[in-house]
Amino acid sequence: MIGGAPSALARTRNSAYLEAMSRPISASNMVPAKPFRSGVASIIVWSAAAIGVLAVAAAAMLWLHYGTAVFFEMIATGIAACF
Around 14, how many Cα atoms within 13 Å sit in the side-chain half-sphere? 9
pLDDT band, very low/low/confident/very high, at 80 (cuts 50, 70, 90): very high
Q: Sorting pLDDT into bands at 50, 70 and 90, what band is 53?
A: very high
Residue that wins the pLDDT comparison between 65 and 5? 65
- Tell me the whole-structure pTM to 2 decimals: 0.43
Structure-model confidence comparison of residues 48 and 10, the more confident one: 48
What is the per-residue pLDDT for 10? 57
**Phi/psi class of residue 8: alpha, beta or left (left: φ > 0; alpha: ψ in -120 to 50)?**
beta
The burial of 62, by beta-carbon neighbours within 10 Å (0-12 exposed, 13-18 middle, 19 or more buried), is given as: middle
pLDDT at 28: 67
| Band (47; pLDDT cuts 50, 70, 90) | very high
**H or E segment at 13?**
none
